[in-house]
Amino acid sequence: MRQAMDDGVTEVLSSVVDDVGQAVERNINGAQLLYELLSAPWLRALLKIYECLLQFQRLSPSPFLPYASGLSHEIMTVIQKTHRPSPEARELYSLLSSPHIHALLSTHDSVAQWDYEPVLPPLPDDLPDDEEAMRIVCLVKNNQPLGATIRRNEETGEIYIARVIHGGLADRSGLLHSGDLLVEVNGNPVGGLEPEEVIQILTNSHGTILFKVIPNPGQISSNQKPVYMKAMVDYCPLQDACIPCPDAGMAFSRGDLLEVVDQSDAHWWQARKLPCAASCAGLIPSASMLKSKQKEQWWRQPLQVHTCIRPLSMTDNEDDPQHGDDKRNVTALEEINFDEADSDITEGIYLAGFRRSFRLWRRTSYRKRRQSCTTCSPNSNALNTPYEEVALYQRPPQENHRLIILVGAPGVGVNELRKRLIKLNPSTFQSPVPHTTRPIRPEEQSGREYHFVTKELFEYLVCNHRFVEYGESKGQLYGTSTDAIDEVLKRGRMCIIDIEPHSIQFLRTKKLKPFVIFVKAPSPERLRQTRRDARIITNFTINRAFTEDDFVELEEASQLMEAKYRQFFDSVLVNDDLQDACIQLCSIIQQAQNEPQWIPVSWGRTE
Ligand SMILES: Nc1ncnc2c1ncn2[C@@H]1O[C@H](COP(=O)(O)OP(=O)(O)OP(=O)(O)O)[C@@H](O)[C@H]1O
């Protein structure tokens, strides 16, 4: 009967359409509109779906009996009582006694009886009229934590939910919120208890936990938009005495990318580390909290003179008594060839920034800085911004290329990689032309090997903060200027520079949007294997083979550099096999220029 009625829906519709069609022919007002509506394909499709659903409802399985497990039990009892059960009866008995069939039949009965609702305790009869609306929350806790912290009101002794951790069990239930007053846990009144005692009750509860709470009337929904931040400091909740719940805390290291999902608390934020595997957020100190911690720590530290922060002194002398041995090894030939640049011309194009005098200055200045820095721990530059807000950025094709900065311990191969990259494609990659006060030589051209300038002009540029790095070697000044970088970028080339990591800060500007690649030393074995034929530049000798001391120094310097500056690195390239490292470098640079990358939000803002 029903089927006949359902099937008739389309038939009725067709006859309505016919009737309305005739009405149109007879020019009846509004009939055209109705005709179009009823003959619309979407209406027909909807009706088809409706019919299919009705048909599915008719055919869907429904339980034959609501007590299949009871029946199975009865059958087993009967078989047990049978004197000589047939093989079929025995097989049936063994099937019905299997735990899987038991579970299946009991699930079947629950479905058949619609028995899904939790059984809530009855409300007491003597509830006062002014009783606050109470919420009874039933959570099933497995091994994961509840995902909420509590606090005690010291005056009233009442226990409140302090915060609900984003993505945790309590949050996913949607039933517990910060500020809710906790009245009972599994029938135990919690008012007046110490938070530790409540936590103990919760820890001892397994399976279903029943909370009685009075909801927070002023509850604000914490549907905040996530904010992305780069950690500029290290944090470990287990070493933090102030954290409300160390288990809920999240450790992070400098350079980690954090998705901050909740900033509603002034002291403790909730965040996830990206790329994110955990659905549940962790507690991290807010920026202001971390800053005050840094200040506290800084005041407690003994006074250290941070010579590493000062710019290179113009009066630094290159004579270094520690490396007198090296000096004695210099041969006459090496001294004569001192400023000859081997292979810094390729296919008629001059490769700037590879002159030995320049590289030697860099090497000397590095040594000096390193010696003055050995007392600085990686975390000693306190009072920094603990988090830097970042956003994804993709360079628009019409904009200048991002500045590519290579950093690495001396001898790791930064120059070799930079040179190979430029030789590979000199019309795309270029380095800035450095400045010097040393006299020009006959074969040189100003603006090609160096910008040859007077000492007065050099000092003027220094005073006007035009140098990324500068310093003195053998009585002459050397430096790399920001104008030289701009010149390369304005020509539409990709500017590749290698600088010491302490200079990165100077170049972190909206205009240059630098992308920093850390060239890392490979494993100790691979370092020694791959550098068998390599030549090193030291303070006073050039092109000598690596010694065991050089390898040890290189490894230490590489580790120290990474530990101290990794928050500024956008990518890390291990310089193991030279060919592979070159290919990887090309692909990292391509990605940096053409794919979305995280940059500080301040670089993306339009003023
Ligand atoms: N992956 C590598 N495998 C083998 N040799 C390498 C590799 N990388 C670099 N080298 C060699 O190691 C030596 C030192 O490299 P390079 O001069 O580029 O060091 P650097 O990091 O620029 O240090 P510095 O600034 O002191 O010159 C060079 O002889 C170079 O050819």
Residue spans of beta strands (DSSP E) within 89-156 = 135-141, 148-152
Closest to 547 in 3D by CA, of 538, 556, 539 = 538
Specify burial of residue 555 (Cβ count, 10 A radius: 0-12, 13-18, 19+). Answer: middle
Whether 243 shows a pLDDT value over 60: the answer reads yes
Contact 161, 178 (CB under 8 A): yes
Q: Is 408 in the pocket of ligand 1 (CB under 6 A)?
A: yes
Q: Is 575 in the pocket of ligand 1 (CB under 6 A)?
A: yes
Can you tell me the distance from the alpha carbon of 536 to that of 549, in angstroms, rounded to the nearest whole number? 12
Whether 491 shows a pLDDT value over 50: the answer reads yes
- Tally of CB atoms within 10 A around 90: 12
Ligand 1 centroid vs 413 CA: distance in angstroms?
A: 3
Q: Which atom of ligand 1 is nearest to the CA of 409?
A: 21
- Copy the structure tokens of residue 265: 């608390």
User: Cβ contacts of residue 459 below 8 Å, gap of 6+?
Assistant: 314
Of 369, 415, 431, the residue with max ligand 1 atoms within 8 A of its CB, to mutate for a pocket test, comes to 415
Mean pLDDT of 289-316: 56
Q: Is 530 in the pocket of ligand 1 (CB under 6 A)?
A: yes
pLDDT of residue 539: 60
Lowest model confidence (mean pLDDT) among 111-120, 425-434, 445-454: 111-120
The per-residue DSSP string of 477-500 comes to EEEEEHHHHHHHHHTTPEEEEE--
The proportion of the chain whose per-residue pLDDT surpasses 90, expressed as a percent, equals: 39
Ligand 1 centroid vs 466 CA: distance in angstroms?
A: 29
Of 500, 531, 533, 579, the residue with max ligand 1 atoms within 8 A of its CB, to mutate for a pocket test, comes to 531
Cα within 13 Å of Cα(98), Cβ side = 8
Provide Rg for the chain, Cα atoms. Answer: 38
- Copy the structure tokens of residue 99: 């735990």
Lowest model confidence (mean pLDDT) among 129-133, 261-265, 351-355, 553-557: 129-133
115 versus 136: the higher-pLDDT residue is: 136
Residue spans of the domains in the chain: they are 2-59, 68-112, 135-214, 227-300, 309-604
Taking the chain, what is the end-to-end CA distance rounded to the nearest angstrom? Answer: 73
Question: What is the ipTM score, two decimals?
Answer: 0.97
Lowest model confidence (mean pLDDT) among 71-75, 100-104, 313-317, 350-354: 313-317
- Copy the structure tokens of residue 19: 């009737």
Indicate the average pLDDT of the chain: 81
Ligand 1 centroid vs 601 CA: distance in angstroms?
A: 35
CATH code 3.40.50.300 for 309-604? yes
What digits encode the pLDDT tens for the residues 184-224?
988 888 888 888 888 888 877 777 888 888 888 766 556 67
Closest to 500 in 3D by CA, of 429, 565, 584 = 565
Compute the C-alpha angle 239/242/245, nearest 5°.
85
Q: Is 418 in the pocket of ligand 1 (CB under 6 A)?
A: no
pLDDT of residue 382: 41
User: Cβ contacts of residue 439 below 8 Å, gap of 6+?
Assistant: 452
Whether 272 shows a pLDDT value over 80: the answer reads yes
Can you tell me the distance from the alpha carbon of 304 to that of 373, in angstroms, rounded to the nearest whole number? 10
Q: Is 416 in the pocket of ligand 1 (CB under 6 A)?
A: yes
- The verdict on pTM exceeding 0.90 is no
Can you tell me the distance from the alpha carbon of 479 to that of 486, in angstroms, rounded to the nearest whole number? 15
pLDDT of residue 310: 36
* Residue 300 identity (one-letter amino acid): R
Can you tell me the distance from the alpha carbon of 366 to that of 417, in angstroms, rounded to the nearest whole number? 19
Q: Which residue has the least CA distance to atom 2 on ligand 1? A: 578
pLDDT of residue 48: 87
- Copy the structure tokens of residue 286: 């807010």
pLDDT of residue 348: 61
Q: Is 522 in the pocket of ligand 1 (CB under 6 A)?
A: no
* Band of pLDDT at residue 541, cut at 50, 70 and 90: low
Of 16-30, 218-232, 370-384, 567-581, which has the strongest mean pLDDT? 567-581
Superfamily name and number for 227-300: SH3 Domains (2.30.30.40)
* Residue 31 identity (one-letter amino acid): A
Can you tell me the distance from the alpha carbon of 183 to that of 158, in angstroms, rounded to the nearest whole number? 8
Can you tell me the distance from the alpha carbon of 355 to that of 343, in angstroms, rounded to the nearest whole number? 10
Right CATH for 135-214 from 2.30.42.10, 1.20.1740.10, 3.10.20.740, 3.20.20.70: 2.30.42.10
Contact 467, 461 (CB under 8 A): yes
Can you tell me the distance from the alpha carbon of 409 to that of 400, in angstroms, rounded to the nearest whole number? 29
Lowest model confidence (mean pLDDT) among 102-111, 415-424, 559-568: 102-111
* Band of pLDDT at residue 125, cut at 50, 70 and 90: confident
Q: Is 353 in the pocket of ligand 1 (CB under 6 A)?
A: no
Lowest model confidence (mean pLDDT) among 169-178, 336-345, 461-470: 336-345
Instruction: Provide φ and ψ at 86, rounded to 5°.
Output: -65, 160
List helix spans (H) across 97-256. 99-112, 169-173, 195-204
**Count H helices, E strands: the chain?**
20, 25
* Band of pLDDT at residue 130, cut at 50, 70 and 90: low
Ligand 1 centroid vs 476 CA: distance in angstroms?
A: 25
- Tally of CB atoms within 10 A around 603: 17
Closest to 110 in 3D by CA, of 145, 66, 144 = 66
What digits encode the pLDDT tens for the residues 335-393?
334 444 545 666 666 777 777 777 777 777 666 666 554 444 444 444 468 999 999 99
What digits encode the pLDDT tens for the residues 45-90?
888 888 888 888 777 777 778 889 899 999 999 999 998 999 999 9
* Residue 486 identity (one-letter amino acid): D
Mean pLDDT of 7-36: 74
pLDDT of residue 409: 93
Q: How many residues are recorded in the chain?
A: 607
